[in-house]
Amino acid sequence: MDADIVCVGFGPATAGFLTTLSKQLVNADGTPAVESAILPGMPPQVLCYERADDIGFGVSGVVTKARALRASFPEIKTAGIPMAAPVGEEKVLYLLDPHGASRRSAALLMADSLIRIFKFALPVENHALNLPWTPAFLHKHDGMILSMGQFMQWVGAQVQSTGTVQIWPGTPVAEALIDRTNVAQASPPAGSPGVSPGVSAGSETLQQPAAGTDCATSPSRSKVIGVRLLDQGVDKKGAPSDGFTPGMDIHAALTVVADGPIGPIGRQLDEVFGMPDGHHKRDWAVGMKFVVDLPEDTPLKAGTVLHTFGYPEPEIFGFLYVHPDRVASLGIFVPSWFDSPTRTAYRYLQHWMLHPYLWRYFKGGKLRSWGAKTLGESGKHGEPHLTGDGYARIGEGSGSTNVLTGSGVDEAWATGTQLAEAVLELLKAKKPFTRQNLDETYVKRRRASWVEAEGRVAEKSRDGFQKGVATGMIGMALAGLTNGKLSLGHAPVQPWKRIPTVEDYFAGKISGDEIAKLRDECKTKNVSLHGALMDKAGWPAIPFDGQLLVSHQDALLMGGKVQAPHGYADHVVFLHPELCEKCGARICIEACSGQAITPGENGVPAFDREKCVHCGACLWNCSQTNPENPERMNIAFRAGTGGLHSAEN
């Protein structure tokens, strides 16, 4: 099938792109403002494919300054959007550990003692220090609290009502189609791999970015010519079965890649075209979020924003945003620099909720829905080649997220609008979507924008966390207060190089023999190890209440159920089973947000598609490197259907 423009993913970046584009494709009298190349006399045919089963099921992000959103919708009022509220009171809290179960450095323990000694003179309440001053860069004054799911549904309706754009949810893109016969006029970007001798001629598609992929392809000779959708009617391994329908090829002059931080198409292009010199995507966090009904007598007002650090582990950041009607979004981020082999976001989220400062607000509340998602934290370090012949990249997968301010929605949206303006300029000038033309229009706009300027300030702001939380916080403050001129720390190291074994991590708290016993018990029950280890290490038991504190399995069944349609291949694949067999840490099992990965048989984990929430934690946390590519792990995370069914997140 042919289209003029095909988009991969409908997150905030594509929403910004399509909002700007769709308004300008047709004149007020209904005639095309610009013409389609495939249907002369008609406006350009624009298609968008979204993996999740409906619009708004695959996104997250709730507090935003909304500068780019307001530029697109100058009349926007929070009152018109479900679950939206203007930002009100903002607080940053340092949470002390009331149980002594977390791992705190000597410096942090000393700071905790000082806070406790001088609490009479400090704003300390319920084991939490309310930071008396927070730098301006952390504030979201004049911004708004949103449910991105709700907002995306609203935007989706606006965009489709123009009649110029089609959005297809429940339709994952399997891969980009790459034509290697094209020779562009421009030279390859710095840092691209050289032209591979023997690069085949003809139009061919590349496989998913898995082990053994031939990635030695040069942007100067390759052109993205569209996308291939996912095969249907296949078994778990992808072999044709009942009702086999091969994924359709969509050919388009421009492919807009906006599939977010774990998108398989973005990662395919990263492999095929390489990253610019010195760029990498080694920083990430897995965010887990609950949407809850607060108790009827809650004192929290709509618009309240709380950010926390220090507990349940010093490395884990938390957030609470209050929507209208007593609904709140709350959650935590487990970052890549947290060197724990038991990185269970679910259990840590429960301990975070139970912190005395927060539990007084949550007690009596009820879980409505939940979700987990990766936050790409490499920022500008993670910027890939933004353009190539026939394609452009926008949003978080293009390195737009600001890692200093923790803001991603507005930035992703802004890059989408910049691309739309560039595309309209090129369409009007009847110029092709070559890398050079896209650089001169889209990249030029992006480089001149606030996204770029603020991204540069933020670029090294998180490097200090490689040396610990205290250094990290100082590094962030330095970068923020000096406009990025000063920073601390060093470039990130991949988790497989730094995460210790379970035995090393719990040394002094749990003996090797006890760990071996717990491991055997958990293996017999086919469950992950983290719960048993945390119990043993002194974490209090979770007082399940059937409302908000529920088992992980129950959460999968409550609001925001996980569903995966039949007839699709497994999208999580253990590439080298022999590496799993000898893997001691098995972090994929511990970190899985949906308990979709279990110990399995013969030492190789088992994957259950029907529990996967598409958070990407397994992809990042695998403790074994891929022998073919040291930047990749032993897990492939491919295009897949399903995930959570909730548009509240």
Helix (H) or strand (E) holding 372: strand 366-376
Burial (0-12, 13-18, 19+ Cβ within 10 Å), 133: exposed
Q: Which parts of 561-590 interact with ligand SF4 (CB under 6 A)?
A: 572, 574, 579-580, 583, 586-588
Nearest to 204 by CA among 183, 234, 229, 224: 224
- Shortest separation between residue 478's beta carbon and ligand FAD, angstroms: 23
For position 25 contacting ligand SF4 by CB under 6 A, the verdict is no
Q: CA–CA separation, 56 vs 649, rounded Å?
A: 8
The option from ligand FAD, ligand SF4, none interacting with 518 (CB < 5 to 8 A, set by class) reads none
- Shortest separation between residue 322's beta carbon and ligand FAD, angstroms: 13
Q: CA–CA separation, 309 vs 334, rounded Å?
A: 11
- Shortest separation between residue 640's beta carbon and ligand SF4, angstroms: 9
What does residue 219 show for φ and ψ, rounded to 5 degrees?
Answer: -60, -25
- Shortest separation between residue 290's beta carbon and ligand FAD, angstroms: 10
- Shortest separation between residue 197's beta carbon and ligand FAD, angstroms: 31
For position 392 contacting ligand SF4 by CB under 6 A, the verdict is no
Applying CB under 6 A, the residues found at the interface with ligand FAD are: 8-13, 49-52, 58-64, 172-173, 258-261, 263-265, 287, 289, 331, 373, 375, 395-396, 401, 407-410, 412, 639
Nearest to 208 by CA among 640, 625, 638, 573: 638
**Judged by CB under 6 A, which stretch of 30-38, 40-48, 192-200, 594-602 contacts ligand SF4?**
594-602
For position 646 contacting ligand SF4 by CB under 6 A, the verdict is no
State the number of binding residues for ligand SF4 (CB under 6 A): 27
Calculated CA dihedral for residues 397, 400, 406, 408, nearest 10 degrees: -70
Q: Which of 285, 422, 443, 618 binds ligand SF4 (CB under 6 A)?
A: 618
**Closer by beta carbon to ligand SF4, 282 or else 586:** 586
For position 341 contacting ligand SF4 by CB under 6 A, the verdict is no
For position 593 contacting ligand SF4 by CB under 6 A, the verdict is yes
Tell me the one-letter amino acid at 505. Y
**Judged by CB under 6 A, which stretch of 359-367, 424-432, 433-441, 607-615 contacts ligand SF4?**
607-615
The option from ligand FAD, ligand SF4, none interacting with 396 (CB < 5 to 8 A, set by class) reads ligand FAD
Q: Which parts of 619-638 interact with ligand SF4 (CB under 6 A)?
A: 622-624, 634-635
- Shortest separation between residue 621's beta carbon and ligand FAD, angstroms: 15
**Closer by beta carbon to ligand SF4, 337 or else 433:** 337
What does residue 437 show for φ and ψ, rounded to 5 degrees?
Answer: -65, -40
- Shortest separation between residue 27's beta carbon and ligand FAD, angstroms: 29
- Shortest separation between residue 530's beta carbon and ligand SF4, angstroms: 13
Query: Which residue sits closest to ligand SF4, CB atoms considered?
Result: 583
Asked if 167 and 14 count as a contact pair (C-beta separation under 8 A), the reply is: no
Give the N- to C-terminal CA distance of the chain in Å, as an integer.
33
**Closer by beta carbon to ligand SF4, 55 or else 588:** 588
The option from ligand SF4, ligand FAD, none interacting with 172 (CB < 5 to 8 A, set by class) reads ligand FAD
DSSP β-ladder status, 327-335 and 284-293: antiparallel
Q: What is the DSSP string of 433-450?
A: --HHHHIIIIIHHHHTSH
The option from ligand FAD, ligand SF4, none interacting with 635 (CB < 5 to 8 A, set by class) reads ligand SF4
Percent of the chain that is helix, strand, coil (3-state, to 5): 30, 20, 50
Asked if 186 and 63 count as a contact pair (C-beta separation under 8 A), the reply is: no
**Closer by beta carbon to ligand SF4, 127 or else 586:** 586
**Closer by beta carbon to ligand FAD, 127 or else 289:** 289
Q: CA–CA separation, 261 vs 76, rounded Å?
A: 28
For position 285 contacting ligand SF4 by CB under 6 A, the verdict is no
- Shortest separation between residue 460's beta carbon and ligand FAD, angstroms: 19
**Closer by beta carbon to ligand SF4, 112 or else 377:** 377
Q: How far is CA 630 from CA 211, 282, 339, 625, 626, in A?
A: 11, 11, 19, 6, 6
- Shortest separation between residue 305's beta carbon and ligand FAD, angstroms: 9
**Closer by beta carbon to ligand FAD, 396 or else 439:** 396
Q: CA–CA separation, 263 vs 393, rounded Å?
A: 12
The option from ligand SF4, ligand FAD, none interacting with 320 (CB < 5 to 8 A, set by class) reads none
Q: Beta-carbon neighbour count of residue 166 at 10 Å? A: 13
Left if phi > 0, otherwise alpha if psi is -120 to 50, otherwise beta: which for 74?
alpha
- Shortest separation between residue 571's beta carbon and ligand SF4, angstroms: 8
* DSSP bridge pairs for 7: 48, 256
**Closer by beta carbon to ligand SF4, 165 or else 618:** 618
Asked if 384 and 392 count as a contact pair (C-beta separation under 8 A), the reply is: no
* DSSP bridge pairs for 8: 49, 257
For position 374 contacting ligand SF4 by CB under 6 A, the verdict is no
Q: CA–CA separation, 643 vs 571, rounded Å?
A: 11
Binding site for ligand SF4 (CB under 6 A): 572, 574, 579-580, 583, 586-588, 591-594, 596-597, 605, 612-618, 622-624, 634-635
